[in-house]
Amino acid sequence: MFRTISISSLLLLVASTAFAQTPSNGRFVRGAGESPVKLTRAGEKAGALGTNPYSGSYLPRTSGPLANEPGDAEIKRKVTDGFQNGDCNLVHKIIQDNATKDAAAKLEAAGNLSGFRAKYLREGYSPTAESWEGFCHNWAPAGLDPAVNFMVSMDKIYADIPFGVSDLRELTTYTFPSSYDVAWFGKRHNDKDSAEKPEDSLDPVDLMTIFENYVGKGKPGIVMDVDPGYMVWNQPYYKWNRTATRVQGANMGPKAPPAGGRAYKVELSGTYAVEGEYGYRGETLDRQSNWEFFIYTDKKGNIVDSAWDPSASNKIPDFAWAYRGGQEASADFAALKKVAKEGVKVSSIEEFCNIMAGLDGKPSRAEKKKLKKLLDEICPVLDQNKLSDYIRKTAERIGMDYSVLEDSIRVDSEAHI
pLDDT at site 327: 64
pLDDT at site 160: 98
pLDDT at site 384: 94
Q: Please answer whether residues 50 and 63 qualify as being in contact, where contact means their C-beta atoms are separated by less than 8 angstroms.
A: no
Chain centroid to CA 299: 42
Q: What is the three-class DSSP state of 55?
A: coil
Q: Please answer whether residues 417 and 380 qualify as being in contact, where contact means their C-beta atoms are separated by less than 8 angstroms.
A: no
| 191-198 CB contacts, 8 Å cutoff, 24+ apart | 191/230, 192/229, 192/230, 195/229, 196/228, 196/229, 196/318
CA separation (Å) from 340 to 99, 164, 184, 343? 16, 10, 31, 6
Residues 6+ apart with CB under 8 A from 369: none
pLDDT digits (tens, 9 = 90+) for 165-223: 999 999 999 999 876 788 899 887 666 667 767 777 899 999 999 999 999 999 999 99
Pick the more confident residue, 73 or 3.
73
Nearest CA to 199 out of 184, 182, 181, 186 is that of 186
Q: Calculate mean pLDDT across residues 279-302.
A: 96
Q: Please answer whether residues 63 and 287 qualify as being in contact, where contact means their C-beta atoms are separated by less than 8 angstroms.
A: no
CA angle 360, 366, 370 (to 5 degrees): 95
Does residue 76 have a pLDDT over 90? yes
Please name the helix (run of DSSP H) or strand (run of DSSP E) that holds residue 156, with its range, or none: strand 156-158
Asked which of 69-83, 225-239, 288-302 is least confident by mean pLDDT, the reply is: 225-239
Q: Please answer whether residues 228 and 194 qualify as being in contact, where contact means their C-beta atoms are separated by less than 8 angstroms.
A: no
pLDDT digits (tens, 9 = 90+) for 196-211: 677 778 999 999 999 9
Residues 6+ apart with CB under 8 A from 182: 2, 3, 5, 7, 10, 321, 322, 323, 324
- pLDDT above 70 covers a percentage of the chain that reads 89
Chain centroid to CA 87: 35
- Confidence grade of residue 7 (pLDDT, cut at 50, 70, 90): low
Pick the more confident residue, 316 or 388.
388
Please name the helix (run of DSSP H) or strand (run of DSSP E) that holds residue 123, with its range, or none: helix 116-123
> Which burial class, exposed, middle or buried, applies to 259 when counting CB atoms under 10 A from its CB (0-12, 13-18, 19+)?
exposed
Q: Please answer whether residues 222 and 49 qualify as being in contact, where contact means their C-beta atoms are separated by less than 8 angstroms.
A: no
Asked which of 82-91, 343-352, 402-411 is least confident by mean pLDDT, the reply is: 402-411
Pick the more confident residue, 310 or 226.
310
Q: How far apart are CA 373 and CA 367, in angstroms?
A: 10
pLDDT digits (tens, 9 = 90+) for 327-340: 666 899 999 999 99
Number of C-alpha atoms within 13 angstroms, CB side, residue 197? Answer: 6
- Confidence grade of residue 25 (pLDDT, cut at 50, 70, 90): confident
Whole-model pTM? Answer: 0.89
pLDDT at site 12: 45
- Confidence grade of residue 18 (pLDDT, cut at 50, 70, 90): very low
pLDDT digits (tens, 9 = 90+) for 30-46: 988 899 999 999 999 99
In angstroms and rounded to an integer, the radius of gyration of the C-alpha atoms of the chain is 27
Nearest CA to 202 out of 187, 223, 217 is that of 187
Please name the helix (run of DSSP H) or strand (run of DSSP E) that holds residue 186, with its range, or none: strand 179-186
Chain centroid to CA 137: 11
Q: How far apart are CA 269 and CA 290, in angstroms?
A: 4
- Confidence grade of residue 318 (pLDDT, cut at 50, 70, 90): confident
Residues 6+ apart with CB under 8 A from 132: 60, 231, 232, 233
Q: Please answer whether residues 262 and 296 qualify as being in contact, where contact means their C-beta atoms are separated by less than 8 angstroms.
A: yes
Q: How far apart are CA 322 and CA 376, in angstroms?
A: 43
